[in-house]
Structures are given as structure tokens and as C-alpha cells.
Amino acid sequence: MALKDDEAHVSAIAELAYGCAFHYLAYGCERKFGIHIDTHAGLPRLLRERSDDAIADVFGGLGTIRQGRWYGGNGNGEAISLVLEILDTIVRWSKRR
């Protein structure tokens, strides 16, 4: 059984969405807080310190999906939809004041 193209590349899509999300969060932190960090490891802490727990949780969820798809090899089309929905949430957050 052949996979649809998007399902065959779910790991790459999750990884790319994670990278995009990180950059949008850095942009949003710079706009909102006048500070950003250059590593994903400290980003949730920075967001929580600024009382943005919800977006920290969203980013954490994306990280969990990314790890499961990249390292665990678990892929499906539903994951792609979820990853893109999370990315959209992060993009919208980064543009709000």
C-alpha cells in the first residue's frame, strides 16, 4: 500500500513546522517582551516567566509530536493536520500584542 505524499513525509513536515514555530515564537517574544532566546530548550521557561503558559504548552505539545514522528517513526496524516493547526496558533500568537 503506497502512502500519500504528505503521509510519507510526516516526519519532515513535523520537523519543519517545529523550526518555523520556534522562529515565530522568537519573533513574538521580541515584539511582546523585548527579548528572545536562540535555543528552543529555554523558550517554554521564558514564556512561563512572562505568564504565557498557554503558548508554552502549545509549543511543548508540538515538540512531543515532533519527537514521536522523527525519533519514533510514528506518522500519519492526522498528525500533519494537528502540527499545522498548532503552527497556525503560534503564528497568530506572535502577531498579537
Model pLDDT for residues 44-87, shown as the tens digit of each residue? 999 999 999 999 999 999 998 888 776 655 556 678 889 999 99
Per-residue pLDDT, averaged over 12-24, amounts to 93
The full DSSP string for 12-69 is: HHHHHHHHHHHHHHHHHHHHHHS---S-STTHHHHHHHTT-HHHHHHHHHHHHHHHHH
Kindly state the percentage of the chain with pLDDT values over 70.
Answer: 82
Q: Is residue 48 part of a domain?
A: yes
Residue 15 domain flag? no
Domain boundaries, position 86: 38-97
pLDDT at position 1: 32
In the block, residue with C-alpha cell 506572535? 94
Give yes or no for residue 2 having a pLDDT over 60.
Answer: no
Of 14 and 97, more confident = 14
Mapped onto helix, strand or coil, the DSSP state of residue 78 is helix
Spatial distance between the Cα atoms of 85 and 89, rounded to a whole number of angstroms: 6
Query: The whole model's pTM is what?
Result: 0.84
In total, how many domains does the chain have? 1
What is the C-alpha separation between 27 and 4, in angstroms, rounded?
Answer: 34
